[in-house]
């Protein structure tokens, strides 16, 4: 999880102290997502933390789906979450757990609360319940149904279970204190009626426990020792503890909270992410612009870079906003060290090397990676006609321009020095072809006449390359806090978050690429083969440099 020399964060300190004190024989953590959407970068922090703590201290971590709300859940999300956790490199203990597997036990514990006088069936409407609840500064007032007898509550709850009441007609509430300073303790709902089929249990149940009721009891059933939640659950901890105390649970877990990871230039509300998908603002949950793990994976992010990012941001008790540039740095650093190199011309411009024989071709060798001998060298076909990028040629240019200029020289990367002497234009005045000559004896060395080239450009051979599509993805939002306050996050959508380039020209070897396999397209950025395309499509993962940073011209 972290290097041994790195100071322990507060949760590591807690676990270490508990183990040294003999409080537990081993720690048990859990990652408990609700399967109502795809996991996002914020969930990655929780995955990394829960599984990482278990790994570091010789414990285990359960993957448990808190599937208590069938109206919003789907097997599609269950499968996606399992894939994401595995992809990040973590292994859960034993079989996957489901809250729905405990529904019978939870139901029996609800009956226990009723028999002990700690729960009652309430018939207030949702609107009435809000009125009775009170506010942060004013106490609530008791429901008129609060003093029903134990026998009456048992009968009514059984009728709820049998499906005799409509959705919303009744709920089961804990009997705690309607004047409590913590609103979560003002007779919270434990069960509600949902006559909807469940993705795991089918039509077995028509009442479902709330997350607040199920959470702690699931932890207790599984022997969880450290139930780690984000800070918004701190106010729910008294209820968590109250229920553990009131019920005959097999173990006593403890809840601890840490600050969730909020990243700028993103939204991580599942509701808002679903809205982006449903309204067609993006191409599904795995659109490379989405902050979902599926989207990051399709964009070319690696598990190592995401785990590194989680480590970089630290574990604290104070909420803060993390700069997305840290995530971009993590993937850029990872790919710089590990991605094989290749050349791809995004805006092709043909160059005819007029002094190179028409029938001649040769194979040049280029390193697979400048610092990695374990990444195989690649062969580059070379011939009379090549493609360079349109931006790499100008008829006239100032001294700052280090590429091909009419009458000037430039080096082709891993190949010869060439000198431009002519060009062709179409009827619109656009340059469509450049004529140049190869400077002799410049393969791997400078010209013998001492006239050195000013720069280096990338290229591919026209006779032996592959056509491909390149998608230039950028940040989905142009506002660092797109949903802050009363903002409509859709107003902050970046209209330039996707640029599609057709008929790009790439090294022939790229046609053997595997989905999400990373490459550095030299001088362009980091790319990977799109996992959802039927043709050769490359997605930009990240540029070579931070294009969003304010860089002064020098």
From 231, 260, 289, the end of a domain falls on 260
User: Is the whole-model pTM more than 0.85?
Assistant: yes
Is 550 within a domain? no
* Rounded distance between C-alpha atoms, residue 520 and residue 332, angstroms: 10
One domain, residues 409 and 478: no
One domain, residues 200 and 288: no
From 260, 286, 313, the end of a domain falls on 260
Q: Which of 141, 159, 246, 260 is flagged as catalytic? A: 260
One domain, residues 420 and 504: no
Query: Which range marks the domain in which residue 381 is found?
Result: 344-458
Q: Is the pLDDT confidence value at 378 over 60?
A: yes
One domain, residues 236 and 358: no
From residue 155, alpha-carbon distances to 108, 148, 224, 487 in Å are 14, 11, 34, 48
Is 495 within a domain? yes
User: What is the predicted pLDDT for the residue at 546?
Assistant: 75
CA-based torsion, 490, 495, 501, 502: positive or negative: positive
Is 174 within a domain? yes
Q: Is the pLDDT confidence value at 552 over 50?
A: no
One domain, residues 242 and 274: no
**Tens digits of residue pLDDT in 94-112:** 999 999 999 999 999 999 9
Assess contact for 102 and 69: CB atoms under 8 A.
no
Assess contact for 346 and 499: CB atoms under 8 A.
no
One domain, residues 63 and 145: yes
Segment 227-253 shows an average pLDDT of 97
Is 552 within a domain? no
Q: Which of 34, 55, 304, 469 is flagged as catalytic? A: 34
* Rounded distance between C-alpha atoms, residue 524 and residue 542, angstroms: 9
Is 549 within a domain? no
**Tens digits of residue pLDDT in 470-519:** 999 999 999 999 999 999 999 999 999 999 999 999 999 999 999 999 99
User: What is the predicted pLDDT for the residue at 553?
Assistant: 35
What percent of the chain shows pLDDT beyond 90? 96
One domain, residues 350 and 335: no
490 by Cβ neighbours in 10 Å (0-12 / 13-18 / 19+) ranks as: middle
Segment 447-468 shows an average pLDDT of 95
CATH number at residue 186: 3.40.50.620
**Region at 450 (left for phi over 0; alpha for psi -120 to 50; beta for the rest):** left
**Tens digits of residue pLDDT in 462-480:** 999 999 999 999 999 999 9
CATH number at residue 398: 2.40.240.10
Measure CA 375 to chain center: 28
User: What is the predicted pLDDT for the residue at 112?
Assistant: 98
Q: Which of 45, 148, 175, 270 is flagged as catalytic? A: 270
Task: Give catalytic status of residue 260 as yes or no.
Answer: yes
Task: Give catalytic status of residue 34 as yes or no.
Answer: yes
Task: Give catalytic status of residue 270 as yes or no.
Answer: yes
* Rounded distance between C-alpha atoms, residue 302 and residue 296, angstroms: 8
The per-residue DSSP string of 417-466 comes to EEEEEEEEE-TTS-EEEEEEEEPTT-TTS--TTS---S-EE--EETTSEE
**Tens digits of residue pLDDT in 142-192:** 999 999 999 999 999 999 999 999 999 999 999 999 999 999 999 999 999
One domain, residues 26 and 172: yes
One domain, residues 319 and 384: no
Three-class SS state of 540: strand
User: What is the predicted pLDDT for the residue at 550?
Assistant: 47
For helices 103-115 and 211-222, give the axis angle rounded to 10 degrees: 110
CATH number at residue 287: 1.10.1160.10
Assess contact for 200 and 102: CB atoms under 8 A.
no
Is 6 within a domain? no
376 by Cβ neighbours in 10 Å (0-12 / 13-18 / 19+) ranks as: exposed
Q: Is the pLDDT confidence value at 520 over 70?
A: yes
From 424, 458, 492, the end of a domain falls on 458
**Quick one: pLDDT band at residue 549, thresholds 50, 70, 90?**
low
Is 1 within a domain? no
Segment 49-74 shows an average pLDDT of 97
One domain, residues 354 and 290: no
Helices (H) and strands (E) in the chain, counts: 12, 29
User: In what helix (H) or strand (E) does residue 84 lie, and over which residues does it extend?
Assistant: helix 75-87
Segment 192-215 shows an average pLDDT of 96
* Rounded distance between C-alpha atoms, residue 122 and residue 111, angstroms: 15
One domain, residues 281 and 380: no
Three-class SS state of 275: helix
Assess contact for 122 and 143: CB atoms under 8 A.
yes
The per-residue DSSP string of 36-75 comes to SS--BHHHHHHHHHHHHHHHHTT-EEEEEE----TTT--H
When the pLDDT of each residue in the chain is averaged and rounded to a whole number, the result is 95
Task: Report the relative pairing of strands 456-457 and 409-412 from DSSP bridges.
Answer: parallel
Q: Of the candidates 531, 471, 536, 533, which has an alpha carbon nearest to the alpha carbon of residue 510?
A: 536
Question: Phi, psi (5° rounding) for residue 417?
Answer: -85, 135
What percent of the chain shows pLDDT beyond 70? 98
* Domains of the chain: total: 3
**Region at 280 (left for phi over 0; alpha for psi -120 to 50; beta for the rest):** left
Is 2 within a domain? no
One domain, residues 181 and 325: no
């Amino acid at each position: 999880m972290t290097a041994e020399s790195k100071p322990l964060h507060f949760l590591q300190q807690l676990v270490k102290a508990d183990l040294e004190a003999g409080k537990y024989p081993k720690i048990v953590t859990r990652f408990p997502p609700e399967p109502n959407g795809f996991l996002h970068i914020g969930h990655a922090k929780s995955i990394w933390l829960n599984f990482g703590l278990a790994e570091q201290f010789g414990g285990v971590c359960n993957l448990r789906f808190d599937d208590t709300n069938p109206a919003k859940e789907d097997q599609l999300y269950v499968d996606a979450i399992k894939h994401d956790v595995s992809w990040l490199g973590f292994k859960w203990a034993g079989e996957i757990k489901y809250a729905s597997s405990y529904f019978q036990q939870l139901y029996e514990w609800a009956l226990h609360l009723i028999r002990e006088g700690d729960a009652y069936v309430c018939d207030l409407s949702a609107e009435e319940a809000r009125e009775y609840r009170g506010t942060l500064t004013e106490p609530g007032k008791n429901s008129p149904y609060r003093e029903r007898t134990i026998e009456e509550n048992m009968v009514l709850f059984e009728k709820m279970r049998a499906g005799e009441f409509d959705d919303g007609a009744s709920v089961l509430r804990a009997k705690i204190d309607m004047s409590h300073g913590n609103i979560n303790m003002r007779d919270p709902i434990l069960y509600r009626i949902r006559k909807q089929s469940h993705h795991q249990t089918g039509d077995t149940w028509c009442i479902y426990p709330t997350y607040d009721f199920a959470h702690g009891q699931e932890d207790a059933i599984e022997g969880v020792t450290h139930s780690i939640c984000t800070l918004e659950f701190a106010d729910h901890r008294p209820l968590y503890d109250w229920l553990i105390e009131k019920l005959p649970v097999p173990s006593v877990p403890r809840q601890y909270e840490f600050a969730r990871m909020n990243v700028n230039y993103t939204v991580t509300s599942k509701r808002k992410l679903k809205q982006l998908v449903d309204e067609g603002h993006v191409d599904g949950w795995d659109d490379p612009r989405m902050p979902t793990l599926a989207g990051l994976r399709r964009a070319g992010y690696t598990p190592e870079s995401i785990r590194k990012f989680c480590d970089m941001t630290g574990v604290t008790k104070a909420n803060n906003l993390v700069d997305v540039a840290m995530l971009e740095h993590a993937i850029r650093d990872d790919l710089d060290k590990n991605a094989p190199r290749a050349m791809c011309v995004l805006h092709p411009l043909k160059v005819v090397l007029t002094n190179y024989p028409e029938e001649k071709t040769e194979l040049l060798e280029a390193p697979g990676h400048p610092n990695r001998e374990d990444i195989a060298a690649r062969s580059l076909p070379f011939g009379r006609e090549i493609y360079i990028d349109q931006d790499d040629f100008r008829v006239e240019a100032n001294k700052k321009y280090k590429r091909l200029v009419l009458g000037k020289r430039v080096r082709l990367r891993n190949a010869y020095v060439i000198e431009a002497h002519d060009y062709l234009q179409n009827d619109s005045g656009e340059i469509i072809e450049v004529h140049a000559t190869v400077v002799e004896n410049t393969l791997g060395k400078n010209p013998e006449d001492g006239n050195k080239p000013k720069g280096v450009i990338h290229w591919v051979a026209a006779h032996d390359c592959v056509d491909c599509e390149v998608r230039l993805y950028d940040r989905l939002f142009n506002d660092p806090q797109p949903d802050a306050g009363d903002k409509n996050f859709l107003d902050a959508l970046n209209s330039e978050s996707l640029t599609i380039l057709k008929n790009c020209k790439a090294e022939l070897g790229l046609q053997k690429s595997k989905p999400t396999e990373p490459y550095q397209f030299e001088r362009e950025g980091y790319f990977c083969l799109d996992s959802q395309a039927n043709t050769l499509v490359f997605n930009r993962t990240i540029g070579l440099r931070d294009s969003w940073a304010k860089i002064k011209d020098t």
